[in-house]
Amino acid sequence: MAASYWLEERAEPLRTHRHDRAVDVAVVGGGVTGLSCALTLAEGGKRVRVYEARTIASGASGRSGGFALRGGAMPYDQARERLGTERAAGLWRLTERTLDRMESLAGDALRRVGSLRLAADEVEGAELAAEYEALRTDRFAAEWIDQPGGRLAERYSGALLHPRDGSLQPARWIRRLATATADAGVEIREHERVTALEELHADAVVVASDGYPSGLGALDELVQPMRGQVVATEPLPERLYGRPHYARHGFDYWQQLPDGRLVVGGRRDVDLERESTSEEGTTPEVQAALEGLIRELVGRQPAITHRWSGIFGLSPDDLPLVGPVPRREGLWVARGYSGHGNVLGLACGELVAKAILGDREPELKLFDPARF
């Protein structure tokens, strides 16, 4: 299966620790969540081993569209209605703090250029306006754009700018996080799929596999795997889009990279049934739809140089599942970000680690798997 454009970037070999047999905590999954969790645990004095079935960043964390967004999978005004203002604002503030932490760890793998959410029709325009009002009422930074300019003008009637969001080179970011994690004393084992928890010789186990079925009884039945397909074009001579853009409730998303390439993803709504899968792979239907979107965005058909897919996990209520697994002593999960896990994954890995270290942050309550 084709790997992502991001993963083609040359990687320094990872210099990792070796622990003797038993560790305090074993972490399953070498993406943003698992590494974040392992790093905080090691900083708290725990002996930690990370197991990754393939290589670091080979899951969704190295295959995403590269958007670093605050908030959760639901818009802010809906989060307020469902969770109450205090808890919704707490969740948004958590992700804003996490974006700042990401910036301090990621170096040039993160650019804080903001993100733009576009209204493709009147209904979406009204939804975005309601979200904007709620954000402003609760004093979050947000800007409303009545008429997006350039090539957007013909297609979109309004836009919500989140000024402190960012654009990631995801593979570079996750490899950097892995280096920091290894430097903190964590053993990272790549190409090791865990098939039974008893193999792990650890007091606690954290499963951080988001949409990839872990096969370990770690709430796999609650997390619906969903495939996302992405393409990258040749570098374009014209500079069209200065920040990540998304529209149609996230079914269309794109960003132009500093070298001019356009990375475009989404359109899974042309074949939702077939995209509800944990199998990586691209399909002619979704790829053709993405090519159509590129033609609309550029005004011609540039060459496509990369095509890939990844799997993310939908939770039943759009909030991730983070915390101890009920009736399974010592087993923890952090997964199910519903397509919004680049920043939330960093936050939730840290939340679980802190809880294992004895410090339960209030946000953890929101994500408690026991709610199901």
Ligand X SMILES: Cc1cc2nc3c(=O)[nH]c(=O)nc-3n(C[C@H](O)[C@H](O)[C@H](O)COP(=O)(O)OP(=O)(O)OC[C@H]3O[C@@H](n4cnc5c(N)ncnc54)[C@H](O)[C@@H]3O)c2cc1C
Residue 28 binds ligand X (CB under 6 A): yes
- Minimum Å distance from CB 147 to ligand X? 25
Distances in whole angstroms, Cα of residue 244 to Cα of each of 41, 66, 104, 115, 266: 32, 8, 20, 5, 13
In the region spanning residues 209 to 268, those forming contacts with ligand X, defined by CB under 6 A, are 209-210, 212, 214-216, 228, 230, 265
Residue 236 or 334: which CB sits closer to ligand X?
334
Residue 58 binds ligand X (CB under 6 A): yes
What's the rounded Cα separation, in Å, for the pair 90 and 97? 11
Choose which of 337, 350, 353, 366 interacts with ligand X (CB under 6 A).
337
- Minimum Å distance from CB 226 to ligand X? 8
- Minimum Å distance from CB 351 to ligand X? 13
Write the DSSP symbol of residue 270: G
Residue 181 binds ligand X (CB under 6 A): no
In the region spanning residues 185 to 204, those forming contacts with ligand X, defined by CB under 6 A, are 193-194
Q: Six-digit token pair at 150?
A: 């350039």
Residue 61 binds ligand X (CB under 6 A): yes
Q: Six-digit token pair at 52?
A: 């990754």
Sequence-ordered alpha helix ranges (H) in the chain: 32-43, 76-83, 85-106, 122-137, 170-183, 272-275, 284-298, 341-356, 363-366
Query: Which of 27, 15, 2, 14 is CA-nearest to residue 56?
Result: 14
The interaxial angle of helices 85-106 and 341-356, nearest 10 deg, is 100
In the region spanning residues 64 to 103, those forming contacts with ligand X, defined by CB under 6 A, are 64-67, 69
Residue 310 binds ligand X (CB under 6 A): yes
- Minimum Å distance from CB 162 to ligand X? 12
- Burial of residue 248, with CB atoms counted within 10 A of its CB: 0-12 exposed, 13-18 middle, 19 or more buried: middle
Residue 302 binds ligand X (CB under 6 A): no
Determine the interface stretch with ligand X among 57-65, 124-132, 157-165, 364-372 (rule: CB under 6 A).
Answer: 57-65
- Minimum Å distance from CB 214 to ligand X? 4
344-363 footprint of ligand X as x/- string (CB under 6 A):
-x------------------
Residue 132 binds ligand X (CB under 6 A): no
**φ, ψ of residue 297 in degrees (nearest 5):** -80, -30
Choose which of 30, 125, 148, 185 interacts with ligand X (CB under 6 A).
30
- Minimum Å distance from CB 237 to ligand X? 25
Write down the residue that tokens 């794109």 correspond to. Answer: 254
146-165 footprint of ligand X as x/- string (CB under 6 A):
--------------------
Determine the interface stretch with ligand X among 62-70, 85-93, 102-110, 154-162 (rule: CB under 6 A).
Answer: 62-70
Cβ atoms within 10 Å, residue 270? 16
* Strand ranges in 176-283 using DSSP code E only, listed in sequence order: 187-189, 202-207, 224-233, 245-247, 252-256, 262-266
Residue 79 or 208: which CB sits closer to ligand X?
208
Residue 367 binds ligand X (CB under 6 A): no
Write down the residue that tokens 């084992």 correspond to. Answer: 189
Write the DSSP symbol of residue 154: T
Cβ atoms within 10 Å, residue 201? 12
- Minimum Å distance from CB 240 to ligand X? 19
- Minimum Å distance from CB 13 to ligand X? 18
Burial 128-141 (b: 16+ CB within 10 A, else e): beebbebbeebebe
Q: Which positions touch ligand X (CB under 6 A)?
A: 28-34, 51-54, 58-61, 63-67, 69, 193-194, 208-210, 212, 214-216, 228, 230, 265, 310-312, 335, 337, 339-343, 345
